[in-house]
Structures are given as structure tokens and as C-alpha cells.
Amino acid sequence: MRDEELKGALAFIGISILAGLFLFGFLIVTVILILLGLLLFLGFYLYVRLKPWREKRHPPKELESQEDYWR
């Protein structure tokens, strides 16, 4: 009787640990995906906001003579 109770307790603890790791793994993956989404959104937002600023600060050079093409 004692052995059956011990085996049952060990099985319950093992299944509980596996379930916890399984759930924790899904939570970690969810958090990582949310953070990646936020990072991509922030990067795209900064790109869209800073592109006009950079073009205004550094306008493209207008090529006038043949020498401008070879520098």
C-alpha cells in the first residue's frame, strides 16, 4: 500500500512539473512574440518618422557637370 501511494505521489508531482513547464513555455513564447511585435512596430514607426527628417537634413546632391558623376 505504501509503495502505491509513493508511486502515485511521484506521478502526480512529475505530471505537475511537466504541466508547469509546458504552461511556462507557452507564456515565455507569448511574451517573446509580443516583444518582437512591439520592436518591429517601433522600428517601422521610427523609420517612417525619421526618413523625411533625414531627407530634409541631407537633400540629394544635384548633379550638374560630368565631374559630379565620377566623385
Please, what is the end-to-end C-alpha distance for the chain in angstroms?
A: 91
The pTM is what?
0.58
Q: What are phi and psi of 65, to 5 degrees?
A: -120, 175
Give the pLDDT of residue 63.
66
Establish if 16 belongs to a structural domain. yes
Q: What is the pLDDT of residues 27-46, one digit of tens each?
A: 999 999 999 999 999 999 99
**Percent of the chain predicted with pLDDT > 90:** 62
Establish if 69 belongs to a structural domain. no
Establish if 41 belongs to a structural domain. yes
Q: Is the pLDDT of residue 11 over 70?
A: yes
Contact yes or no for 68/61 (Cβ under 8 A):
yes
Establish if 37 belongs to a structural domain. yes
- How many domains in the chain? 1
Q: What are phi and psi of 49, to 5 degrees?
A: -75, -35
